[in-house]
Amino acid sequence: MRKIRALIVDDSSVMRKIVERSIRQAGIDLAEVREAGNGAEALGALKESGADLVLCDINMPVMDGIEFLKQLQGVENAKGVPVVMITTEGSESHVVQALSIGARGYIRKPFTPEQVKEHVIPLLDDKK
Amino acid sequence: MNTTNPISTHDGTLESWRPMLELAAREVFEIMLGCKLEVQNDEPSLPGEFTAMVGLAGQLCGLLTLRCGSQSAALMASKMLGAEIKETDQQMWDAIGEIANMVAGNFKNKLSGMGEGCMLSVPTVITGSDYSCRSMADTAPLEVAFLFEGAPVVIALELHS
């Protein structure tokens, strides 16, 4: 598998580190990891230099993950970039809403590295 | 491991949700920290140096709190990150806020129908023990006392009707 550039979006710096560790434990080779503390920061990062994979929380200050997904559709650098939501908001309506506006996967916290692997690897295989 | 147990209604007392709250907390600690929580059946001592709070709004309205001492908070952060965290490290606050957030989310997702109509706030963490908190909740809180690596951790749920 090729090395990928990941963008991790969560207002918790601890959770961003855990997500990064889980990606590595899933056997995904990371060329670069960037972090954003909310959806607005993530949009800025994507406009600047894109990414191969975005892992995004929903419940964040400034701009939440749902609004991020909506605005992402207008970002040229983000076209085709898979976004996987990683969140405590695990209700069916949240899942349906996120998937309907562009998320490619949905992982509920607490999560294991195996769950990250299960949801992320197929998306990266799609991009080969 | 997000087991969803169907509880469609509760019997009017928070006490009936104790097993769900215990399970929600145990899962978070096992999955994210790699540690088992032991339920403390004795009268809990109230560790008050760190209090993480997550608000619930909507169908389920109230507050979930997690209280622990500074050494426990540092140890939780260390276990989560897989690296030693000192008691003065900002990541300690972040870690216990995130643990409280995951316990609250895991708990509400286990209550059939509640996940849909209940939103969580971003967590807030208070440090220090010399404070009083007046809740608008109209019932006594459900408190679950645990031992985490031998030190007390208390998780409480207060709800408005």
- CATH number, domain of A42, equals 3.40.50.2300
* A32 band by pLDDT with thresholds 50, 70 and 90: very high
Q: What is the pLDDT of residues A41-64, one digit of tens each?
A: 999 999 999 999 999 999 899 999
Choose the mutation target among A18, A95, A109 for the interface with B, i.e. most B CBs under 10 Å.
A109
Q: Between A13-25 and A113-126, two packed helices, what is the crossing angle to 10 degrees? A: 70
Percent of residues, chain B, with pLDDT higher than 90: 50
Contact B98 A112 (CB under 8 A): no
Nearest-CA neighbor of A104 among A71, A128, A126?
A126
The SS3 assignment for B103 reads helix
Residue B5 has pLDDT above 60, yes or no: no
For chains A and B, CB pairs below 8 A equal: 67
**Most confident stretch, A84-93, B101-110, B112-121:** B101-110
What rounded mean pLDDT belongs to chain A?
Answer: 91
Reported ipTM: the value is 0.85
The SS3 assignment for A54 reads strand
> Structural domain tally of chain A?
1
Chain B CA closest to residue A96? B116
* A67 band by pLDDT with thresholds 50, 70 and 90: very high
Nearest-CA neighbor of A90 among B110, B67, B26?
B110
Q: What average pLDDT score do residues B98-125 get?
A: 87
Chain A residues with CB under 8 Å of a chain B CB are 11-15, 17-18, 21, 59-61, 87-93, 108-112
B120 CB within 8 Å of a chain A CB:
yes
* Architecture, CATH, for domain B16-160: 3-Layer(aba) Sandwich (3.40)
Alpha carbon separation from B148 to A52, A72, B74, B128 (Å, rounded): 39, 41, 12, 20
Q: What is the pLDDT of residues A118-127, one digit of tens each?
A: 999 999 876 5
* B87 band by pLDDT with thresholds 50, 70 and 90: confident
What range defines the domain where residue A80 resides? 4-126
* B26 band by pLDDT with thresholds 50, 70 and 90: very high
Which of A21, A92, A109 minimises the CB distance to B105? A109
* B33 band by pLDDT with thresholds 50, 70 and 90: very high
pTM: predicted TM-score of the whole model, two decimal places = 0.88
Alpha carbon separation from B76 to A18, A87, B58, B99 (Å, rounded): 13, 20, 30, 9
Contacts of B75 in chain A (CB under 8 A): none
